[in-house]
Amino acid sequence: MNSNNVDQSGVCSIDASSPTSVWQQCYIFNYKSSFLSTMNIIFLSIVLLLLFSLVSTIIGIKAPLLSLNENEILYLFSNSAQVLASIYGLTLTGFIFFRNELSREEFEDDTLTDAVESLKNRYFKILTFLTFISIATLFLSNIAISAQSSSNLIFITIIINVGQSFFVINLCVIAYFIFDVISPKRIQKESKLIQRQVDPIDDKEQQGSLETFLKNYNELENIIQKYGQAYQSELEGNLNTSRRRISNVRLAEFILRAEKIDRGLFEEIKSLITLRNTIIHGAEPIVSETMVESSEKILKELAESLDV
């Protein structure tokens, strides 16, 4: 994406000359921004990890604040490893429980799919990083314990300080992860984030008519429900026996598979559905004028494609 599509504030602007649709231009850029926000957390943790390790090692070599004997070092690292392993295990168990709760909420209400899947993706990235530094911390603890027979005091000092720096940062990341997962308004917060990704508005002058947007969406939903279910019957027959309501995105996919719409229109419909779902789940009840116009265009294109 070139610089013409993004202003200095990071809000997506539209390049009319680009062959990429309005929805795709905004969504691609802001998906990257969301990914970077998660990666910034990991990057900050790595920076603090390196900084703590460097500072503590320098202090430990030049002017140590504490002097530990062999038994104290063995006790410190053996207990640190046990404590970390226990906390990590409990955190993972709790996360699995909360993840199952998210999946249950998603199953009961398909309009939560975007927010829930975004949360799962975010949690997975943080948990992957957390697992990596936990393994590294345990590995350093084993080295510190086994290195006590070494006569190289500088090496032992480095391992001790780096190992404890990993332990401290590891606990901080675990604490952040726990509070992030159990946040009582996580769905609402994620909905607001997704709304900013799909329909960024930097001032009130850009606001469009929410009533018009919802009117267009309701008409589009009626078309998708009617024709999506018809094409589902043609493509799957009676294979789908689930009583669960089929989501609008899934129904739009049936229309796509029936080759009644192209991939570009499907992605625009999907983004329109995403925006509407975020609004009903706690995001700001506002839409941009650009998106109101886009909803009218998408509705018209869908109606023409299906000869409605």
Q: Which pLDDT score is estimated for 28?
A: 41
30 and 175 together in one domain: yes
Buried b / exposed e along 8-38 (16+ C-beta atoms within 10 A): eeebbeebeeeeebbbebbbebbeeebeeeb
43 and 187 together in one domain: yes
190 and 208 together in one domain: no
Structure token pair of residue 137: 């911390």
Q: Domain range holding 123?
A: 22-195
Q: Which pLDDT score is estimated for 239?
A: 52
Region 28-38: what's the mean pLDDT? 49
* pTM metric for this prediction: 0.75
Residue 30: band (very low, low, confident or very high) from pLDDT cuts 50, 70, 90: very low
Closest CA to 128 of 158, 104, 92: 92
187 and 285 together in one domain: no
Predicted confidence (pLDDT) per residue in 176-197, tens digit: 999 988 888 888 888 888 888 8
Residue 144 forms part of a structural domain: yes
160 and 83 together in one domain: yes
27 and 172 together in one domain: yes
Residue 15: band (very low, low, confident or very high) from pLDDT cuts 50, 70, 90: very low
